[in-house]
């Protein structure tokens, strides 16, 4: 059992949780909690860390023993954990590597295109909701927050394992490729003439969601095929980026169920 915070494995684990650069260089990320562990593919797990008390309960022991695992003292595990009330298990996972072609799994796909989203919780919520709404993939600008941020991972509630995604250095170029494949690009915009529920999302569809504070860049917005509006009452000028994406994704999902 590991009890020292200066243990090399523990120091590496903490670094992976805190630094996106370390995660990129080692091509791994960290998940916490029993649900995240049980839903993880064994082939993607590189290491498992459990607290002493968790290990003694023999929870998920069979799966744990199929992995390379280490037991940490309860005190040390609590120090390492990124949560206030740790469940007692975390694992180091291999990162996912998707290509644009991997996102085209069916006819008339639905995509979410994110430009410079900065809040980890927002991104995690979008990933989780995207799975629930039947989205086929998420495409992100290079300046979007790291999807492997621990807060993002927690917010996905396991959807990180199943929702294809990719980052791109040239969002406009990828949007052009989508158009060439018959995907229509929709942007919520003040210049929109129709409300989102008045449009047809049954064909190939991609929703553009911009930065929480600044929205879409002008160049990105101009590349959209259609501008649309979300009805607003009171004095509210705009919605949270994640909330706006939820509304749009589920309207598309509703239409596709008819």
What are 131-178's pLDDT values in tens digits? Answer: 999 999 999 999 999 999 999 999 999 999 999 999 999 999 999 999
Mean pLDDT, rounded, for 38-63: 97
Give the Cα separation of 88 and 95 in Å (integer).
Answer: 22
pLDDT tens digits for 232-245? 899 887 889 999 99
**Can you list the alpha helix ranges (DSSP code H) found in 4-119?**
8-18, 20-26, 34-39, 52-56, 61-64, 74-80
- What percent of the chain has a predicted confidence (pLDDT) above 70? 100
Mean pLDDT, rounded, for 100-125: 96
Mean pLDDT, the chain, integer: 96
Residue ranges and CATH numbers for the domains of the chain are: 8-94 (3.30.1330.30), 100-257 (3.40.1280.10)
Give the Cα separation of 177 and 135 in Å (integer).
Answer: 18
Q: What are phi and psi of 225, to 5 degrees?
A: -85, -35
pLDDT tens digits for 200-223? 999 999 999 999 989 999 999 999
- Among 21, 42, 146, CA closest to 91: 42
pTM of the model as a whole: 0.94
């Amino acid at each position: 059992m590991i009890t020292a915070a200066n243990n090399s494995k523990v120091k590496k684990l903490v670094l992976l949780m805190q630094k996106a650069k370390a995660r990129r260089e080692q091509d791994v990320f960290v998940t916490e909690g029993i649900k995240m562990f049980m839903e993880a593919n064994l082939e993607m797990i590189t290491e498992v860390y459990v607290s002493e008390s968790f290990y003694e309960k023999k929870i998920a022991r069979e799966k744990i023993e199929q992995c390379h695992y280490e037991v940490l003292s309860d005190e040390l595990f609590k120090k390492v954990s990124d949560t206030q009330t740790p469940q007692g298990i975390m694992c180091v996972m291999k990162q996912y590597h998707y290509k644009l072609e991997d996102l085209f799994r069916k006819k008339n796909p639905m995509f979410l295109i994110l430009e410079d989203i900065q809040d980890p919780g927002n991104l995690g919520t979008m990933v989780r909701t995207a799975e629930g709404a039947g989205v086929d993939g998420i495409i992100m600008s290079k300046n979007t927050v790291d999807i492997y941020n621990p807060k993002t991972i927690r917010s996905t509630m396991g959807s990180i394992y199943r929702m294809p995604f990719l980052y791109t250095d040239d969002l406009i170029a990828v949007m052009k490729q989508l158009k060439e494949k018959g995907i229509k690009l929709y942007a919520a915009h003040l210049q929109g003439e129709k409300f989102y529920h008045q449009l047809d999302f049954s064909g190939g569809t991609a929703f553009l969601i911009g930065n929480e504070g600044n929205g879409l860049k002008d160049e990105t917005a101009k590349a959209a095929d259609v501008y649309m509006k979300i009805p607003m009452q009171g004095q509210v000028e705009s919605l949270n980026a994640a909330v706006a994406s939820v509304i749009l994704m589920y309207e598309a999902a509703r239409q596709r169920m008819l």
